Amino acid sequence: MTATPMLELRGVRKTFGNVISLDGVSTSVRAGEVTCVLGDNGAGKSTLIKILSGVHRPDAGELLLDGAPVTFAGPRDALDAGIATVYQDLAMIPLMAIWRNFFLGREPTKGRGPFRRFDSRTARAVAREQLLRMGIDIRDPDQPVGTLSGGERQSVAIARAVYFGARLLILDEPTSALGVKQAGMVLKHIVQARDRGLGVVFITHNPHHAYPVGDRFLLLKRGRSLGDHAKADITREEMTALMAGGAELEELAHELERDPASPAGRVAADLTEEASALGIHPDGR
């Protein structure tokens, strides 16, 4: 593990009017490691992504790149620094060919001056080669990207970011709308990116996806940190319990607890069972 993190947040705060979106959040990302940022809707994950990718500037705290304070004037600054963000919508055109999407906005050319033109042969070959390196053997690079599975489209986006020089990859909920098999494919590609020496920020609400691939875990709730843990310091069960709000589950179960045979009673029983599975006992232990 390198001594200096590739990217570090120290006490970052961001507000929008009277709404506190992030408050005193700190974490770090190192080359060859995956930092997972977990939290439910409204936890501040989207704001964190936008600060890391240069869309927003923090109101307080600082961002350090390779140990030096940095301020991004916009997304282009972050991209030039090697920080690539893969958003949920993937920034792809479904009816356009895979290879065209791979080079969208960065098309290779050949020729000079008025004779310069799009080098489609190179684009096709490079797109196919890079996808093969990610473990995807596409049937036809001319097929529309919309015909790929969700996991395959995520892989195209990851391969594209790596090819264009990303040092740090930010993945915005890449497994949220995928089935088990496709989510597994994306997790495999996250590990591949990590093993190639990239730093990865994996944004998710699912601890079962985060824990197998993560090296560090930042837990957010309503803009505040519930903890920033190395993998050796927290188990998946502890992380799940923190995210689930064990005390809140127990309180709700007691409120609903009436006749065990009633619908409310059955809901209470389910909640109690869920809390017990998380290692949360009725007395709060």
pLDDT at residue 261 above 80? no
Q: Which residue has the higher pLDDT, 229 or 285?
A: 229
> Residue 70 and residue 51: Cα distance in Å, rounded?
12
- Please state, rounded to an integer, the average pLDDT across all residues of the chain: 84
> Residue 265 and residue 285: Cα distance in Å, rounded?
23
Of 152, 159, 157, which is closest to residue 134 (Cα–Cα)? 159
Q: Say what the pLDDT of residue 84 is.
A: 92
Of 219, 241, 210, which is closest to residue 25 (Cα–Cα)? 219
DSSP 173-210: STTTT--HHHHHHHHHHHHHHHHTT-EEEEEES-HHHH
Band (pLDDT 50/70/90 cuts) for residue 285 is very low
Q: Say what the pLDDT of residue 270 is.
A: 60
Strand ranges for 66-116 from DSSP E: 68-69, 83-86, 109-110
pLDDT at residue 94 above 60? yes
For the chain, domains (ranges, CATH) are: 7-234 (3.40.50.300), 247-277 (no CATH)
pLDDT at residue 40 above 50? yes
Q: Say what the pLDDT of residue 255 is.
A: 63
Q: Say what the pLDDT of residue 252 is.
A: 55
Which residues, 6+ apart, have CB-to-CB distance to 40 below 8 Å? Answer: 205, 221, 243
Residues 167/83, Cβ–Cβ less than 8 Å? yes
Q: Is residue 22 classed as helix, strand or coil in its secondary structure? A: strand
Q: Say what the pLDDT of residue 64 is.
A: 94
Of 156, 154, 147, which is closest to residue 96 (Cα–Cα)? 147
What CA–CA distances, in Å, run from 171 to 195, 205, 221? Answer: 16, 12, 19
Radius of gyration for the chain, computed over Cα atoms and rounded to the nearest angstrom = 22
pLDDT at residue 284 above 50? no
Pick the range with the lowest mean pLDDT from 53-62, 63-72, 214-223, 266-275.
Answer: 266-275
> Residue 65 and residue 177: Cα distance in Å, rounded?
32
Residues 223/21, Cβ–Cβ less than 8 Å? yes
Band (pLDDT 50/70/90 cuts) for residue 281 is low
